[in-house]
Structure 1
Amino acid sequence: MSKRHSQKYKIDRRMGENIWGRPKSPVNRREYGPGQHGQRRKGKLSDFGIQLRAKQKLKGYYGNISEKQFLSIYKEASRIKGDTSENLIGLLESRLDAIIYRAKFAATVFASRQFINHGHVLVNGKRVNIPSYRCKVGDVIEVRERSKQLAILIEATQLAERDVPDYLVADHNKMTATYQSMPQLADVPYPVIMEPNLVVEFYSR
């Protein structure tokens, strides 16, 4: 098992939830945590523990981005006018790696990040190889011409386990996607319940 798969499944087991809704997640077979003490009875979490868990789950969902990056996104969300928790989701979903994943050009967020790093993606006609690149409403994201026949890309577009959300318009024949609008929490098709309000409480302590 590669390090990437190992990390992904470890996050699932630590959370005790199949946070990406993947059919191969080990949580589908065993819900207890990893390690020799994973099956011990869990004690009741404190308010801090609940908030921390919400933060770790949301952070892990987006490819387990670094704490520094996640905190930076939270600070930006708190500066924008409106509800900070909704702003946080909107900013996370506007990341290029999230859009490539949502458009079904990659099977996982981790694969999306690698796909971008390898230079397969154009934004408004220009190559971008930074997964955290912030897309703007109206941006057109496409797979570069010589990458459109990659087996991993074609397989990802055919995945039946999730659909492209309404805030993206994806054309899997042309391998393009248009970022239509910044989504709110209710618009994002998370397989599990995400609680960005608890993330805001965690950082607001």
Structure 2
Amino acid sequence: MSKRIQAKYKIDRRMGENIWGRPKSPVNRREYGPGQHGQRRKGKLSDFGTQLRAKQKLKGYYGNITEKQFRRYYAEAIRMRGDSGENLIGLLERRLDAVVYRAKFAPTPFAARQFVNHGHITVNGRRTNIPSFLVKPGDVVEVKDSSKQLVIVLESVQLAERDVPDYIDADHSKMKASYTRIPTLSEVPYAVQMEPNLVIEFYSR
């Protein structure tokens, strides 16, 4: 089963933003935070608070992955050459569940993780059921033949709320997608502003 610590829309409410850009998000109806004190005017966040919020938002976006796993991505990002914030985004976008979501084979990152977990996806023809598997440029991600007519897949590819980004070449008639290259931050179609450099600052304190 998909490991999710909290209900996904609680993340939206806590952040006060519709982080996936979904029409069902409760933030579309109530922009204030949850709880009896949610409507109180918020004070100005400290630097630490701003960094923590950026970290929680990015971590939540990718299916609310665990802190241990997220910290590993940070450690890998600072080891790599170039801008650490961009490296972090590149690593997160290489996750198999993220590629399945971007290719529109699943409606949400949570559904994508569960879809991979349940063995519906192959990478280069081999069944892969590890959502955190890192896809490389040139890899081909495909919905297994016996899963191509599942309602969740057929409905997801028809979703008008988002498009497949340029760094993924998706063929929905064959339920197949090729991961062409690692994207930069500006290429990733986030519904809200993500600040990976604040995440790097949070962990490097």
Aligned residues: 203
Q: Which runs of 5+ in 2 are unaligned?
A: none
Distance in 2 separating the partners of 1:62 and 1:92: 8
CA positional deviation for 1:35: 1.3
Q: Which runs of 5+ in 1 are unaligned?
A: none
What is the root-mean-square deviation of aligned Cα atoms in Å?
1.3
Aligned to 2:16: 16
Q: State the Cα deviation string for residues 48-79 of structure 1 (Å, max 9, x = none).
A: 00000000000000000000000000100000
**AA in 1 matched with 2:166:** D
Distance in 2 separating the partners of 1:117 and 1:50: 33
Distance in 2 separating the partners of 1:30 and 1:138: 42
Q: Does structure 1 residue 189 correspond to structure 2 residue 185? A: no
Distance in 1 separating the partners of 2:57 and 2:30: 18
Q: Give SS of 1:32's match.
A: coil
Identity of aligned residues (%): 75
Aligned to 1:94: 94
| TM-score, L = length of structure 1 | 0.97
Aligned to 1:123: 123
Distance in 1 separating the partners of 2:114 and 2:37: 33
**AA in 2 matched with 1:13:** R
Q: State the Cα deviation string for residues 66-124 of structure 1 (Å, max 9, x = none).
A: 00000000100000011000000000000000000000000000000010011000000
Distance in 2 separating the partners of 1:147 and 1:93: 23
Aligned to 1:36: 36
Aligned to 2:147: 147
Residues 95-114 of structure 1: matches in 2 within 5 Å? 95-114=95-114
CA positional deviation for 1:160: 0.2
Distance in 2 separating the partners of 1:171 and 1:203: 39
CA positional deviation for 1:133: 0.5
Q: Give SS of 2:177's match.
A: strand
Distance in 1 separating the partners of 2:137 and 2:79: 19
Q: Give SS of 1:141's match.
A: strand
Q: Does structure 1 residue 72 correspond to structure 2 residue 72? A: yes
Q: State the Cα deviation string for residues 125-174 of structure 1 (Å, max 9, x = none).
A: 00000100011110000000010000110000000000000000000000
**AA in 2 matched with 1:100:** V
Aligned to 1:198: 198
**AA in 2 matched with 1:118:** H
Distance in 1 separating the partners of 2:186 and 2:92: 14
**AA in 2 matched with 1:136:** K
Aligned to 1:158: 158
Aligned to 1:61: 61
| TM-score, L = length of structure 2 | 0.97
**AA in 2 matched with 1:121:** I
Distance in 2 separating the partners of 1:23 and 1:131: 25
Distance in 2 separating the partners of 1:121 and 1:182: 20
